[in-house]
Structures are given as structure tokens and as C-alpha cells.
Amino acid sequence: MIEKRDVLLSGYNLIFVARTNVPSPFNVYWKVKNRGYKAKQEDMIHGEIVRTDNLSHSEVTTFKGNHYVECYIVKNGVCVAKQLMSKLKCLNQKGA
């Protein structure tokens, strides 16, 4: 597990898993943001919110830096739960 505030290198596969006690049905949204120097330099600080309707989400790191991840649970058009992911599971480096 990677602890909150660890700097991640580029090219790693990350898996985020959320849990909720909100009864189904609900929608799931994810926000992933890289705040590293290289991302700023390349003007690639993204942080869009993406609907996946899945409690797990994967991303590949593009830049070295801190990665900020939140999960939102939306029921009947209202955000009823939000979680800042403090631990990330990091898989092998891409291509390794």
C-alpha cells in the first residue's frame, strides 16, 4: 500500500477501491489529480470528475508527483458520500 503523500513515479498502474454503506442503486464518480512539478510544467494538471458507477477505479500515472484521489457516491442526484483515498494500491511499473 502507498500511504497518503507518497510521491509516485510515472508509468505505474494504480487501483483505487472504495466502500460504502449507501444502499443501491447509486452512481459512483472519481476524481484523480496529479499535482507534481512536471504536470504543472506541462500544463497537465487535470482533475476532472469521471462517472464510472464502479467502486473500483484504475489509472496509470503519467507524471511523477503527488496524486490526489476522491470518490463520490451520488444517489438520486445528490452527493451522499465522499472519500479522500488515503491509501492506494500500486501495481508493477507499466511494461515491467
What are the phi and psi torsion angles at 40 (to 5°)? -65, -45
pLDDT digits (tens, 9 = 90+) for 4-16: 455 566 777 778 8
Query: Which numeric CATH code is attached to 2-93?
Result: 2.60.40
Per-residue pLDDT tens digits of the chain, which is 96 residues long? 444 455 566 777 778 889 999 999 999 999 987 666 666 777 766 678 999 999 998 877 776 666 678 999 999 999 999 998 755 544 444 444
Question: Which helix (H) or strand (E) covers residue 88, if one does?
Answer: strand 87-93
Q: Give the per-residue pLDDT at 87.
A: 52
The residues spanned by each domain of the chain are: 2-93
Cα separation, 26 vs 20, in Å, equals 10
CB-based burial label for 10 (10 Å; 0-12, 13-18, 19+): middle
